[in-house]
Amino acid sequence: MTFALKENINTGMPSNVNVRGMLFLSLTVVGVPGNMAVIVAFLLLVLQESWLLAADAIVLHLSCTNLLVVLVRCLMETLASFHLANVFGDVGCKGVIFIYRTSRALSIWLTFLLSAYQCLSIAPPGSKWGSVRILVAQNLPIVFLFLWVLHTSTSAGAILFSVSSKNDTAVTTSAVNVEFCYVNFPSDIIKEVYGAIQVSRDVVPMALMTLTSLIILVLLYKHSQHLKGLRGAGHAGSGTCGSKQRAAKVVVVLVTIYVVLYGVDNGLWVYTLTVRHTMSSSLISDLRVFFASLYAALSPLVIIASNRKVNSRLRCVAQEKPLLGKTAHLRSI
């Protein structure tokens, strides 16, 4: 069963589009420089030390995928909302939604990978988990490749079903309205199966990273109790252990942000799957994209504020700029 979808042209629409554009603009303004700063900091670290720790490599990869989320979805939505550019033809819709779904899923699973690795890092010395951590670190490129292959394949539905909202072709009652595009499912059954796959792809790492975060909190509590006993006996704590604890706490913060924001996103997605007709408004889909992209914009701020390696490299860059300016000024005299 199909029906023709008319354009939403009314007096209230421009203001709604402008508000929508401002929201996505705010994510772009925060997310693009934030993620780029983290990427630059780690690239400087690679140039200086010629290698990265496994946890740093995961954070770098996470920042790259978050940058992709913000650039492909938030920036494109901003440009289209303010009529500065519109890439949302049929091909543009397929490309944007496919890349967004893939990078979004990678961001989720890399956050889980980071939480799992940090959980292994603070495991008690001499435990069997130490060998698992070493195995993961040694095979990290293979893990990254597996995640890319997995999520590009599970996001293929975006290429098959996405069409532009300007397309004259009638869409089915099972379509999902995403403002400038429709995800045009052929039937309710295909919509529900595809939706279930997407929800599972999010819920599984959400449950696992919640578990690893709880384990991290338990291990941190036990370690703090152990340190109290050592201090009472007159022994000093290890600086390496302290850095691992700080990194683990940052991961718990990132996981908490993820669970809240993606929990809202998935709740709205489940609601969309229960609606038996194509919604005339894209409000629900807009909220989903906003909350999912909010993680990509906020996570680099947490990393910059808490990661000493990133902090120190960015401070060096900030301090070098005035020095370079003074040197250039002296040369011109």
Confidence band (pLDDT; 50, 70, 90) for 59?
very high
**Domain residue limits, the chain:** 21-306
Rounded Cα distance, 104 and 24, in Å: 16
Fold of 21-306: Rhopdopsin 7-helix transmembrane proteins (1.20.1070)
* pLDDT beyond 50 at 3: no
* pLDDT beyond 70 at 206: yes
DSSP conformation class of 235 = P
Q: What pLDDT is recorded for position 218?
A: 84
| 206: enclosing H helix or E strand | helix 188-232
Kindly report, residue by residue over 8-22, the tens digit of the pLDDT.
434 444 457 788 889
Kindly report, residue by residue over 111-127, the tens digit of the pLDDT.
899 989 988 888 776 77
Residue with the two structure tokens 């040369």: 331
CA angle, 201 then 204 then 208, to 5°: 145
Which residues is 171 bridged to in the sheet? 3
pTM: 0.82
Nearest C-alpha neighbor of 264 from the set 301, 292, 231: 292
Q: Collapse the DSSP code of 203 into the 3-class scheme (helix H, G, I; strand E, B; otherwise coil) and give the result.
A: helix
Kindly report, residue by residue over 133-163, the tens digit of the pLDDT.
889 999 999 999 999 999 999 998 889 888 8
Are 79 and 316 spatial neighbours (Cβ–Cβ below 8 Å)?
no
Structure tokens at 200: 């599972």
